[in-house]
A and B are shown apart, each in its own frame.
Chain A
């Protein structure tokens, strides 16, 4: 019984069925172990993330400069920005907007810098459902190439206070 002490010598060899099951389970674990690094090499869906720290004040200045330089309009008080091909793109999460609205081109690679100037936020790109944690003081750098045209939305999926559920951003790809 599992509630009483086992017999004196309980270190016994496994049965055939047990050995078979454990072997299959171990092989499955090994396949998983190999697949994850492998998809970094052969998969195309995985943007590499290079960790980098940045002071929130510096990040605010850099993203403000980016907005000022490439601003083409405004929607509901949020600036619309159209960066040139291959530019560094700054997307700032702050309570409770994603600033700015971005106009991008299909097939062009952009280097995204996503960070926050207040609390943590969650970058959730819809309808593709790609999610990244946005941490103040850290620059989430992602190489992204839009592969289809259309309007994409960014939800916030990390709780960031009472207005969290209104935090929506937009990316327009043409």
Chain B
């Protein structure tokens, strides 16, 4: 099958791009953007409802749309994009053909059918169970089936990735070790296998339970195994995001890792320790002993944190070294001030790094047993993961999209100015969201809550007015971030479908 005519050579990187890979990256990435559009509309509606000044939706629609927002953003948008990333990271970066493209299409179809099934169930009100779908809160069996189909599809996608690595090695399409980005994505794929296995272990009995075939499903056990899936999937996002950071560094300033050993060892720490941190969701649960909680969430979690700290040095370092080599050596920060702030990839990289670093680190704080008691299930948690998954992962993926379109899809970007402005606006929105949620949550404002004024409650209660202030900040953030998100969807959809087709040897990125 490795027929040379099925490849084209990238005029910029010199990589050989396999035609089937290109199509699969295209379909997965385009589908991802469709889901971020759905999730983004939900974000606006949910955000405006949570803001007492507007209080847009009814309680029923709010909880329904909140469930949809979580699933479309956290699962469908990100995982479709990651599958595109895995095919790119294995086949394109290693100059190899893709393993079993037909099976990859089957994987795509399974994921699509699963995602559509889940969305139909959620939007028709048959699965208002939130992303976590804690038993004994029950959804329609088709909801659980949809999640299982999606997870199986994603698992096949990971298998295609590993298969492609094996083919590339056997056919000697590269020399020496795999590139760092491929190495990072391999770490993400290994974590994904564990994650999806947890998903299967918990969602298959849950499906049987919703069908009435099993009656005894312990909610405590559900929580334990669910978070092996629910949190570990965020660890896939972290690992994929860090790989994308290295990639963006290379694409924007030609950054080269300063020490491959350190970068790769840090990815290894993720594989070994990051999954064990999932249990911090259970720090206030009545199911684990205090000793268990201490051992699991302190020692093991911090070794994964160490990995993030290492990347937090290695990535700015390789950008600085690359910039200094170009002659930007004046003072301490000329390398940064003279960086390509006018092209979207660079601000996306820096803001993603900054927001993930400074807001994501709240996770380390909330992950101690004592402070988990203070923050568990408050809006501060929501603030934390909007900093990591949205400000970190999503922003990095957005930045990468502006390079994928010309490099892989061979279309010129329409609206370059909007594309350049987009990461700035999105980042400001997310920072406001995370700060607003963090502030209100620290004062006790609960997550997943329709009415923080408690107008319908039998026992009257009202919050400290500061909660309203922080909620307003978060709501303004939502509006700003939705504008940024709309700019992203607009630019990428227009460019993919209507952008000028680039000539085969046209070496132009933006």
Q: Which A residues are within 8 Å of any B CB, using their own CB? A: 1-8, 10-12, 14-15, 17-18, 21-22, 25-26, 28-30, 32-33, 35-37, 39-40, 43, 45-46, 48-53, 75-78, 97, 101, 114-115, 118-120, 122, 124, 126-127, 129-141, 153, 155-170
B456/A165 in contact, CB under 8 A: yes
C-alpha gap A53/B287 in the complex (Å): 8
Q: Is B443 in contact with chain A by the CB < 8 A criterion?
A: yes
C-alpha gap A67/B248 in the complex (Å): 62
Chain B nearest Cβ from A161, distance in angstroms: 7
Within 8 A of A (CB), among B354-374: 364, 368-370, 373-374
27 contacts between A and B (CB under 8 A): A2-B249, A3-B179, A6-B179, A10-B260, A12-B261, A22-B306, A22-B309, A22-B310, A26-B306, A30-B302, A45-B373, A49-B286, A51-B287, A51-B289, A76-B459, A77-B458, A127-B444, A129-B444, A135-B223, A135-B287, A138-B286, A141-B286, A155-B446, A157-B449, A158-B448, A159-B63, A168-B454
Residues on A with C-beta less than 8 A from B130 are 159
C-alpha gap A60/B497 in the complex (Å): 60
- Interface-centre pick from A5, A156, A170 (highest chain B CB count, 10 A): A5
B177/A165 in contact, CB under 8 A: no
C-alpha gap A155/B175 in the complex (Å): 60
Residues on A with C-beta less than 8 A from B375 are 129, 131
Name the CB-closest residue of A to B183: A2
Residues on A with C-beta less than 8 A from B218 are 137
Stretch binding the partner chain, chosen from B97-105, B293-301, B422-430: B293-301
Residues on B with C-beta less than 8 A from A97 are 458
Name the CB-closest residue of A to B261: A11
C-alpha gap A149/B393 in the complex (Å): 46
A52/B286 in contact, CB under 8 A: yes
A164/B176 in contact, CB under 8 A: no
A135/B442 in contact, CB under 8 A: no
C-alpha gap A158/B378 in the complex (Å): 9
C-alpha gap A31/B400 in the complex (Å): 37
B458/A78 in contact, CB under 8 A: yes
Question: Which of the residues A25, A43, A49, A156 comes within 8 Å of B370, measured between beta carbons?
Answer: A43
Chain A nearest Cβ from B363, distance in angstroms: 12
Q: Known contacts A52-B286, A138-B220; can you find 11 more A-B pairs with CB under 8 A?
A: A3-B15, A6-B257, A28-B309, A51-B287, A119-B134, A120-B134, A120-B136, A131-B284, A131-B375, A165-B457, A168-B457
Question: Which of the residues B174, B261, B368 comes within 8 Å of A5, measured between beta carbons?
Answer: B174
Residues on A with C-beta less than 8 A from B364 are 32
C-alpha gap A117/B250 in the complex (Å): 56
C-alpha gap A72/B373 in the complex (Å): 31
With A36-B368, A129-B443, A153-B461 in contact, is A46–B450 under 8 Å at CB? no
Residues on B with C-beta less than 8 A from A169 are 459
Residues on B with C-beta less than 8 A from A157 are 376-378, 446-449
Residues on B with C-beta less than 8 A from A129 are 374-375, 378, 442-444
Chain B nearest Cβ from A131, distance in angstroms: 4
Question: Which of the residues B128, B180, B220, B461 comes within 8 Å of A6, measured between beta carbons?
Answer: B180
Number of chain B residues whose Cβ lies closer than 8 Å to a Cβ of chain A? 86
C-alpha gap A119/B219 in the complex (Å): 9
Q: Is B211 in contact with chain A by the CB < 8 A criterion?
A: no
B459/A75 in contact, CB under 8 A: yes
Q: Is B402 in contact with chain A by the CB < 8 A criterion?
A: no
Q: Is B254 in contact with chain A by the CB < 8 A criterion?
A: yes
Question: Which of the residues B176, B180, B284, B287 comes within 8 Å of A7, measured between beta carbons?
Answer: B176
- B238-250 near A? 1/0 per residue, CB < 8 Å: 0000000011011
With A37-B298, A51-B288 in contact, is A124–B179 under 8 Å at CB? no
C-alpha gap A33/B456 in the complex (Å): 44
Within 8 A of A (CB), among B407-454: 442-444, 446-452, 454
C-alpha gap A168/B153 in the complex (Å): 42
Within 8 A of A (CB), among B294-326: 294, 297-299, 302-303, 305-306, 309-310, 313-314, 317
C-alpha gap A155/B128 in the complex (Å): 21
C-alpha gap A170/B284 in the complex (Å): 21
A45/B370 in contact, CB under 8 A: yes
A3/B250 in contact, CB under 8 A: yes
Name the CB-closest residue of B to A77: B458
C-alpha gap A3/B297 in the complex (Å): 34
- Interface-centre pick from A3, A45, A132 (highest chain B CB count, 10 A): A3
B451/A165 in contact, CB under 8 A: yes
With A132-B373, A159-B448, A168-B458 in contact, is A3–B298 under 8 Å at CB? no
Residues on A with C-beta less than 8 A from B314 are 18
C-alpha gap A163/B455 in the complex (Å): 12
A2/B306 in contact, CB under 8 A: no
B136/A166 in contact, CB under 8 A: no
B259/A135 in contact, CB under 8 A: no
Name the CB-closest residue of B to A156: B446
Chain B nearest Cβ from A135, distance in angstroms: 5
Chain A nearest Cβ from B318, distance in angstroms: 8
Question: Which of the residues A29, A40, A126, A159 comes within 8 Å of B302, measured between beta carbons?
Answer: A29
Question: Which of the residues A7, A130, A159 comes within 8 Å of B373, measured between beta carbons?
Answer: A130
B250/A2 in contact, CB under 8 A: yes
Chain A nearest Cβ from B13, distance in angstroms: 7
Residues on A with C-beta less than 8 A from B459 are 75-76, 78, 101, 153, 168-170
C-alpha gap A8/B374 in the complex (Å): 50
Residues on B with C-beta less than 8 A from A153 are 459, 461
Residues on A with C-beta less than 8 A from B259 are 12, 14-15, 18
Question: Which of the residues A32, A101, A137 comes within 8 Å of B220, measured between beta carbons?
Answer: A137
Name the CB-closest residue of A to B178: A5
Chain B nearest Cβ from A126, distance in angstroms: 5
Name the CB-closest residue of B to A35: B368
A133/B369 in contact, CB under 8 A: no
